[in-house]
Amino acid sequence: MVKKISYLSILFIITFSIAFINLGKFFDITEPPKKTDIIVCLGGGASERIKKTLELYLKGYSKSKKIILTGSTSLNKKENKITFLTRNGVPRENIIFLKDTSNTMKEVLILKNYLLQNNMKSVMFVTDPPHSRRIVFLANTIAKYKYYELSCLVVGSEVAWWNKDNYYENNKAVRFVISEMLKLPFNYIAYGILKPLGLYDLIREHAGDFIYFIKFHMQKALF
């Protein structure tokens, strides 16, 4: 009996180790850039996202010649993302800032409405690589981009701390992956199950402060 338990423990450890090692490849589904109707620089992250967005824009990947910014426009103490882009050759009228995009789900949904309202069919998201799995999941599974004949791809921000093959060697990369492991199922439950049943807003109304408390301290612990 003891030997059987030992064998099961070893098998569990081996299986867990293999799964853990490959989580980088699971969460990073970024693709090489290609021309799309518009480029979107997602909020959050450091300066790498906006720098990569500028690079893609200058190379002509945005068919509409426009860039969308979500989340916050702040970049550093000296300038924000809009002034950074204009200083580097992007006309101000080609920069669009979408408000009320405080999380990835809101970004994906508001962008869907923008694409439909402006007769666009394709979008290229720029974000940190391990964020890509959740973006594509929310876009295609929850926001139903494919149903509306919208296509999306994610291009990585080329952050120095990320390598999907050995992400576990970098503490920041490990924390990011753990965060995505928690957020992906949470987003599915919240937006894929509770929201359609009309329970999401009800739960937020009565337990919003508690949920925020948990999320805040989880983020603080990880980052």
- Asked if residue 170 and residue 117 are part of one domain, the reply reads no
Least reliable range by pLDDT among 5-14, 50-59, 142-151, 209-218: 209-218
**pTM score, whole prediction:** 0.88
Question: What pLDDT, in 10s, does the model give residues 98-107?
Answer: 988 889 999 9
Q: Is the pLDDT of residue 127 over 90?
A: yes
- Asked if residue 45 and residue 115 are part of one domain, the reply reads yes
Q: Is the pLDDT of residue 49 over 90?
A: yes
Whether 110 and 98 have beta carbons less than 8 Å apart is answered as yes
Q: What is the percentage of the chain residues whose pLDDT exceeds 90?
A: 70
Which position has the token pair 């409405």?
A: 113
- Asked if residue 142 and residue 197 are part of one domain, the reply reads no
Nearest CA-CA partner of 95 in 69, 56, 60, 126: 69
Return the DSSP state at 27.
H
pLDDT of residue 223: 58
Mean pLDDT of the chain: 89
- Give the gyration radius of the chain's Cα atoms: 19
For the chain, how far is it from start to end, CA to CA, in angstroms? Answer: 43
Cα–Cα distance list, 80 to 65, 145, 149 (Å): 20, 30, 34
- Asked if residue 62 and residue 108 are part of one domain, the reply reads yes
- Asked if residue 121 and residue 68 are part of one domain, the reply reads yes
- Asked if residue 180 and residue 115 are part of one domain, the reply reads no
| Domain span holding position 140 | 29-156
Angle of the 200-222 helix axis to the 171-187 helix axis, nearest 10? 170
- Asked if residue 77 and residue 152 are part of one domain, the reply reads yes
Question: What is the average per-residue pLDDT within 134-147?
Answer: 96
Among 156, 185, 206, residue at a domain's last position: 156
Q: What total number of domains does the chain contain?
A: 2
Q: Binning pLDDT at 50, 70 and 90, where does residue 51 land?
A: very high
- Asked if residue 197 and residue 151 are part of one domain, the reply reads no
Q: What is the Cα–Cα distance from 144 to 115, expressed in whole angstroms?
A: 13
Among 156, 180, 198, residue at a domain's last position: 156
Instruction: Report the CATH number that the domain containing residue 115 is assigned in CATH.
Output: 3.40.50.620
Among 108, 139, 156, residue at a domain's last position: 156
- Asked if residue 189 and residue 130 are part of one domain, the reply reads no
- Asked if residue 86 and residue 146 are part of one domain, the reply reads yes
**What is the H or E stretch that residue 155 is in?**
strand 151-156
Strand partners, 151: 122
